[in-house]
Amino acid sequence: MADPEMIAEYITTKQSLPKSPLETGYMNKFLGDNNLVSIEGHHWKSLRSMFNPGFSAQNVLTLTDTIVDASLKFCDVLRAKAKTNEHFQFEEYATRLTIDIIGRATFDVDMDAQQRIHPIVKHFRERVELMPPGDAVFPWQAIDVFRPLKLWLNNRKLEAEVKKELDEKIVRRAKDIEDELKNGVKQNKKRSIVDLALNAYEKEQSLSPEAGGNVKHILEPSELPRSLRQDIADSVKTFFFAGHDTTTIAWAHYLLHRNTEPRRKLMDELNHFFPPGTSAADTIKADPHIVNQLEYTTAFIKETMRIFPPASTLRSNIPGQPIAQTVMRSPSTGQEYPIFAGIHIWPAAHLVHRNRRFFPRPTHFIPERFLRSQTPFPEAELFTPAGKEAFRPFERGPRNCIGQELAMAGTKIILALTAREFDFVLEYPGEQVDPQHPIPNSTAEEFGEMTAYGGMLHEGRVQRYRVEGHRCWPFLKGTAKPTGGLPGRVYLRKDEVL
């Protein structure tokens, strides 16, 4: 579906349909049956409210130092690559940075993923490769008789690592609690997502009649009920999967290099808030709220996610689970569509983000469209109630992304620390672009026989290796990934920067 108003009304928000078995089947196989993306009903409600505090804007703010430190390590990595002119996969290193951030946010542990391959990451990677291909058109393409066994063995190793981290976290937390009780002083420590989830559980238990309002702290891993331990382990796997698989920062750097005018404006904003000669890292650490003032940077990231939304949702009308509205009515045409039992409905963010009603010139990278005072399209409906539904990289409604505050804050800080110093240039091994026949920016022109490229394409004289002008178009591999990754080199910026 591509109509944002109908999506909100019937699929995700006013009425929120259950997740489709096509999606949950994949996620359950990947993450376990208790993962937050798949579960429904009471179980989902209780887990979501247990984890919500850890992902709140307020708590994400306390992670600022962590994000800055991980980003500084990333800068070291990029500097080393620039120095040696190394050809590398940008996405790979952006992913490792994200894992460092999620490790800290979840367990308050340094996974050091930018320097080494952490076992959790290793097993995750193996798992992605073991999963049936998401782009298989015919069932037999996905057949591998040994797959279930390989997945089972991999899961044993992954679970063991996740539970080991969880148990170590519980022991560290117990020590903090004991110190607090002994000294009578509440330590002003930042709280990881797992800390806050355990707090929420303990608080809920204290409300039971037997507890009579007394909080009984979990001081040993064995005191955690088995089912809760499994719930937390599956949720933690979900956070690593969801967070590490959606590396917007890599796409943002790719677009930064290609779009001169937006780049200049981004630099202007960063130079304004972090004047040359001062340390952006120190400024952000001293005043984390400054990140909320980076309007153009935010618009730049939104435009990146509009063009390359990493994920979306798939819903279903599951037979036997009655839904309130079984017919959808288009507000613009009045046309009615049945939501029959067994249907799978895909609100495709990628399509919605190309709807000209809200996003004129949809294939062009124009961050200003998200700024009411600067938009070149005042006639577009983006700032109307319908427009609110049109930008949906994190999906909307009750099942929206729990990690969106963390993802946005993280991407802003990383961009603020890297954009002025590094210029990433996409370079596919052995590939040359034909300067005689530049590839048009829009798919329609690309396929139109009137353009030189389109003509050659139709005559079979060139191979199609661009979508909307991008060689790295997204395809489904768990989430939307750039075809061939984002290989290239990074250069130290000498131009418009300092």
Residues that bind ligand HEM (CB under 6 A): 19, 23, 36-37, 48, 102, 238-239, 242-243, 246, 248, 310-313, 393-395, 399, 401-403, 406-407
Nearer to ligand HEM by Cβ, of 42 and 182: the residue is 42
Query: Residue 398 or residue 438: which is nearer to ligand HEM going by CB?
Result: 398
What residues have CB less than 8 Å from 117, skipping those under 6 apart? none
d(C-alpha 106, C-alpha 155), whole Å: 20
Residue 446, both tokens:
């690309």
Written as six digits, the tokens of 416 are 């603020």
For ligand HEM, which is the closer residue by CB, 51 or 359?
51
* Whether the Cβ atoms of residue 239 and residue 106 lie closer than 8 Å to each other: yes
What backbone phi and psi angles, to 5 degrees, belong to 486?
Answer: -125, 80
Instruction: Confirm if 55 and 407 have CB atoms less than 8 A apart.
Output: no
Query: In the beta sheet, which residues pair with residue 489?
Result: 425
By beta-carbon proximity to ligand HEM, the closer residue of 234 and 446 is 234
Q: What is the spatial distance between Cα 393 and Cα 411, in angstroms, rounded to a whole number? A: 14
Phi, psi angle pair for 453, to nearest 5°: -65, -45
Rounded to the nearest whole angstrom, what is the least distance from the CB of residue 218 to ligand HEM in the complex?
Answer: 22
Report, in Å, the least distance between residue 18 CB and ligand HEM: 10
Minimum CB distance to ligand HEM smaller for 23 or for 446: 23
- Minimum distance from residue 192 beta carbon to ligand HEM (Å): 12
Return the number of the residue (26 or 422) whose C-beta is nearest ligand HEM.
26
Nearer to ligand HEM, 375 or 411 (CB): 411
Nearer to ligand HEM, 93 or 239 (CB): 239
CB of 278 to ligand HEM, least distance (A): 28
Q: Look at residue 458 and give its three-state secondary structure.
A: helix
H or E element, residue 323: none
Least Å distance between CB 48 and ligand HEM? Answer: 5
Q: What minimum distance in Å lies between the beta carbon of 247 and ligand HEM?
A: 8
**DSSP H or E stretch at residue 329:** strand 327-329
**Least distance (Å) between residue 347 CB and ligand HEM:** 9
Element (H, E) at 491: strand 487-492
Comparison of 161 and 234: residue with beta carbon closer to ligand HEM: 234
Contacts of 112 (CB under 8 A, 6+ apart): 100, 118
Q: Are 232 and 166 in contact (CB under 8 A)?
A: yes
Q: In whole angstroms, how far apart are CA 55 and each of 287, 391, 468?
A: 20, 21, 35
What residue type is assigned to position 260 of the chain?
T
Q: What amino acid occupies position 389?
A: E
Least CB distance to ligand HEM at residue 39 (A)? 8
Looking at residue 12, what DSSP letter applies?
I
Work out how close the CB of 495 gets to ligand HEM at its nearest, in angstroms, rounded to a whole number.
Answer: 28
